[in-house]
Amino acid sequence: MTNDEKKFFRPDLLMRVGRTKELSWNSFEQKNFKEFENYLNHSLKPEILNQKIETDEIVVLPFGQKGGIKKGEILTANNDEYFTVPELLWKSKSVQESVNPDKSNGIGLYRIGFEKGLPSYYIGEYLDKAGLIKE
């Protein structure tokens, strides 16, 4: 890859992030981000919490009630450098809930490519849609 291609395709970014069986997209009811962050600090393993996506903007694509992927939405990191897991999950939750009120079987974000010139991730469940992850 050329340097320009690397900047565009971002092969350095995580392929999956925030993956856990402990939560459902529509099951955590925290009122604000700080409350949610505290909840995650007591609920998730450090190896999940310490993940980050080192870019300041990404596109997330939610899944509909019939399982299909819907139109993506651009998310911007609060610190202008990278997304932490709590921030990414908090922001992705509102995108997912806006198109699908059903409870999911776990949560996770999975790299799907790029959209609108930005890295893109689909909002998924604990198991990926590609069937690559068995447990």
Query: In sequence order, what are the beta bridge partners of 73?
Result: 60
- Integer Cα distance of 23 and 39 in angstroms: 11
Residues shown for the chain: 135
Task: Tell me what pLDDT residue 130 has.
Answer: 65
Q: Which residue has the tokens 């992927």?
A: 69
pLDDT per residue as tens digits for the range 108-117: 999 999 998 8
pLDDT per residue as tens digits for the range 37-95: 898 888 888 988 999 999 999 999 999 988 889 999 999 999 889 999 999 999 999 99
Cα angle value 120/123/129 (rounded, 5°) = 100
Task: Tell me what pLDDT residue 124 has.
Answer: 92
Q: Is the distance from CB of 52 to CB of 83 less than 8 angstroms?
A: yes
Task: Tell me what pLDDT residue 118 has.
Answer: 93
- Integer Cα distance of 11 and 67 in angstroms: 27
Give domain limits for the chain.
Answer: 3-124
Task: Tell me what pLDDT residue 4 has.
Answer: 81
Give the global pTM.
Answer: 0.88
HSE-up of residue 124 (Cα within 13 Å, Cβ side): 20
- Integer Cα distance of 57 and 99 in angstroms: 21
pLDDT per residue as tens digits for the range 2-14: 888 887 788 899 9
Query: In sequence order, what are the beta bridge partners of 74?
Result: 59
